[in-house]
Amino acid sequence: MSEVSETTPQPVQAPHPGGPAPHPGAPHQAVPAPHQGPDAVPAPGAPGSFPAPYPPLGGGAPGFPEAAVASGFPEAAQPDRAPLAPPAPQGPFAPQPPRIASVPQTAEAGQPGPGPQTAQTAPAQYAAPGPQTAPDAPGPHTTPVPQAAHAVPAPAPQGTQGGAQGPSTPSAPQGAQASAAAPRTLQYRFDGPEDAPVLVIGPSLGTTWHMWDRQIPELSQHWRVFRYDLPGHGGAPAHAAASVAELGDRLLATLDGLGVQRFGYAGCSIGGAVGADLALRHPHRVASLALVASSPRFGTADEFRQRGVIVRTNGLEPMARTAPERWFTPGFAAAQPAIVEWAVQMVRTTDPGCYIAACEALAAFDIRGALGRIGVPTLVLVGAEDQVTGPAEARTLVAGIPDARLALVPGASHLAPVEQPAAVSDLLLMHFSTAWQQDTSAAIPVLPHITAPAAPSTPFVPVAEIAPAAATPDAVAPTPDDRYEQGTKVRREVLGDAHVDAVNDTADVFTEDFQELVTRYAWGEVWSRDGLDRRTRSVITLTALVTSGHLEGLAAHTRAALRNGLTPAEIKEVLLQTAVYCGIPAAGAAFAVAQKVIQEETTPPA
């Protein structure tokens, strides 16, 4: 059973997979297709609107010779096959339906929507997990309206859910629950029985929760499936999150408001990163984990920061145009043009600022050294032809996570749940229905609160109150070694890994002390100060380099300025200003250097 908005669209017959392009449906509205079988889904939205669920597709996976959890699924190619019927998850730790302590008023059209209040605490480190507590939960059908922090709640437009604003903004998705106290919560929806254990499913960058539509009919028979949208995706409020940990904190705040304490989690790409982060920082919340097309580190930081530069300069069209080749195998893309168009429209309708912030979050994400502390049963699922986070990254996860198994899906690329839906559904059903039989929570140590005396570890028991924030020790001045480590981190973030690696490779006994001085003093002290943001420091640095005539460093710092958020137009204004105060010849030489760098960094991939 799905929680849906009050306005339900009229049923529309979904087209045959080989038929003409379907008529665009209402944005984000799940349109029933009663004669297409259990896996039928509606047509994609028209250009300029938020894409509806993708159209029907045929075919499944012929088998899984390398799958660690299943030997083969020849029936996966049959869209009307009988679903698997694994035993329902059981055990003392299995999530219970939300305990309703208090039910606030629901937000209605034209009325402000109060939401649950959550404690604002700093993200915990991976090395120090502890139990989580939740406030009194609102009722599961409340629809609070998201607001900016500290803003006075504004009435939602007539006929919309989730605080959508402006005449050009489509209404929120059918079943969408727009979360309160934004930006500390996420847009979400539920499917499945209200008394079933909760299974949380996370999307990948540039997609919406509709990427999981074809898994819902089977998963929702056994679990209460909770899907969420990333900020600025699928019409969700565009409150960008600065890190994967912040996305995890917003997800927990949303679940806390619903009284959900323990849950299974499956996520694709950045959605998988969120699940791994939660399993590290909040192990007693995650009962079982599935990482789909995920990685302990996504490519290189330079790649994702340059992607952010391209989007900041050109918008999302370059990412939308290249999405099909990153997400699907060539054969699938050629055979399913409607799904390719659906994928392109998902990216086009994403908020650019939130997309850039997600790229920055992935650039900084690296849990390779922490994988051994993930203590929950984990399925690592990857498409055999995934060129983004492929089998090599999947095997790194399996090698590092103590209780992990690998499932390699033939005939699938990055969006395996879309390309091979039946196979992915079967793998998730088998993993969660078996891994959820064993209660591993008692094996995970529980750290006592700082204000309480030490106590023996006990299984997590949720309580309906917010835990007091841990006392923050007074800040202490960094030691020289701290400055060097901080300087190395900031230098890599600003100049890029490739530049820093090249400098380190050329250092020798004669120059290594100088490089240490630069790292510790320039980057660990001055660039790390809070007095100016990095954009402003880049403006100052560009000006100083032109003034002093040190153009050998201008290329690296032009590239850094782009990554720090300056646009080519703003860099041009800086150089024009230097022409007035530093001279035409100096500015002319600087324009030549900067022009070459900007062309290299902002030209979209072919």
Residue 452 neighbours by CB under 8 Å, 6+ apart: none
Instruction: Check residues 44 and 391 and name the one with the higher pLDDT.
Output: 391
User: Locate tokens 């590092």: which residue?
Assistant: 400
Nearest to 74 by CA among 59, 86, 58: 59
Q: Report helix, strand or coil for 267.
A: strand
Report d(CA 202, CA 269) in Å as an integer.
9
Residue 548: Cβ-neighbour burial (10 angstroms; 0-12, 13-18, 19+) = exposed
Query: In this predicted structure, what is the pLDDT of residue 526?
Result: 92
Q: Please give the average per-residue pLDDT across 530-547, as a whole number.
A: 91
Q: Please give the average per-residue pLDDT across 326-332, as a whole number.
A: 94
Q: What is the pLDDT of residues 50-104, one digit of tens each?
A: 565 655 554 433 333 333 333 333 333 333 444 444 444 444 334 444 333 333 3
Q: What is the pLDDT of residues 58-71, one digit of tens each?
A: 443 333 333 333 33
185 phi, psi to nearest 5 deg: -140, 175
Token pair listed for 570? 């703003």
375 phi, psi to nearest 5 deg: -110, 20
Report d(CA 561, CA 401) in Å as an integer.
38
Query: In this predicted structure, what is the pLDDT of residue 478?
Result: 55
- The full 3-state SS of 345-363, as one line of letters, equals HHHHCCCHHHHHHHHHHHH
User: Which helix H or strand E contains 539, and what residues bound it?
Assistant: helix 534-548
Task: State the pLDDT confidence band at 489, using cuts at 50, 70 and 90.
Answer: confident
For the chain, how many residues are written?
606
The lowest-confidence range among 291-305, 437-451, 483-497 is: 437-451
Quote the radius of gyration of the chain (alpha carbons, Å): 25
Give ∠ CA 488-387-202 in degrees, rounded to 5.
Answer: 80
Query: In this predicted structure, what is the pLDDT of residue 424?
Result: 96
Cα 112 to Cα 3, 145, 151, 156, 157: the distances in Å are 21, 7, 12, 7, 10
Query: In this predicted structure, what is the pLDDT of residue 503?
Result: 87
Token pair listed for 536? 């402003």
Give ∠ CA 73-75-79 in degrees, rounded to 5.
Answer: 125
* Range with top average pLDDT, 134-138, 455-459, 509-513: 509-513
Cα 445 to Cα 210, 336, 371, 449, 460: the distances in Å are 36, 48, 16, 13, 10
Task: State the pLDDT confidence band at 213, using cuts at 50, 70 and 90.
Answer: very high
Query: In this predicted structure, what is the pLDDT of residue 30?
Result: 36
Residue 482 neighbours by CB under 8 Å, 6+ apart: 524
What is the DSSP annotation of 126-188?
Answer: TT-------PPBPPTT--PPP--TTPPP-PPPTT-SS---STTSPPPPTT-BPPSSTTSS--E
Query: In this predicted structure, what is the pLDDT of residue 437?
Result: 56
Token pair listed for 217? 């009919």
Give the other-Cβ count within 10 Å of 84's Cβ: 16
* Range with top average pLDDT, 318-322, 548-552, 563-567: 318-322
Sheet with 224-228: list strands edge to edge. Answer: 188-191, 224-228, 198-202, 263-268, 286-292, 378-383, 404-409
Q: What is the pLDDT of residues 566-591, one digit of tens each?
A: 999 999 999 999 999 989 999 999 99
Query: In this predicted structure, what is the pLDDT of residue 475?
Result: 45
